[in-house]
Structure 1
Amino acid sequence: MLKELKAFLFKGNVLDLAVAVIVGAAFSAIVTSLVKDIITPIIGMIIGTPDFSGIKIGSIMVGNFINAVVNFLIVGTILFFIVQAANRVMAAGKKEEEPEAPAGPTQEELLTEIRDLLAKK
């Protein structure tokens, strides 16, 4: 049973998942700080105080929910741009490494080959 547990815990995909969770948590702190410490104050300078926590409908406080939605949209937008930039960097690296595919036969060569095959029959 201990051998099975060891085999499970040290499989590549389990270790990869553990590393991804840890890196994701650290990256989450970076993005949260970016939103709270940089983006939100900039938005505050442009449109005024970006705090909606005082908004209520009747006796229902909806301001915190609005704050959460706005933060989600900001974080989602930032992550979108980060992922796009990372994809561009990765694509640029792959383009340099991939050799060109050999050119196939031209249309004339294919037609000539078909003609020759039909002539043999």
Structure 2
Amino acid sequence: AFRIIAQHSIGYCNEPLHMYIGGMGGIGKSQVIKCLLKFFAARNNAYAIVTCAPTGNAAALLGGSTYHFLLGMNNKIEEVVACTMAQVCSRLDSVQYIILDEGSMLGCIDIYKI
């Protein structure tokens, strides 16, 4: 997984990369994410990757934020207001990769919104 993302980031592929890394707890999924963050930082490209998770604790372990904050989502199904959308666009301006950790904690509605 690390190699696929690293090669995609330095290649000239314009296609978006969608990847799911699954498995039982303790097999190293979060370690792959930490290595990717270090890889991007070493290339002076840390702004291009962000991490998020469903809970603050999970997000804090990776130095990220909740997906609610990052993507401007709330518990209501209504559309995002214009000022929130502007904030989200500003947050994600130079971002090329969004990593969502602990995806098993997401509900169907949130997966749909994302």
| TM-score band, normalised by shorter chain | under 0.3
- TM-score, normalization: structure 2? 0.23
**Higher relative contact order (CA closer than 8 Å, sequence separation 6+):** 2
TM-score by length of 1: 0.22
Q: Which has the larger share of strand? A: 2
Q: Which has the higher helix share?
A: 1
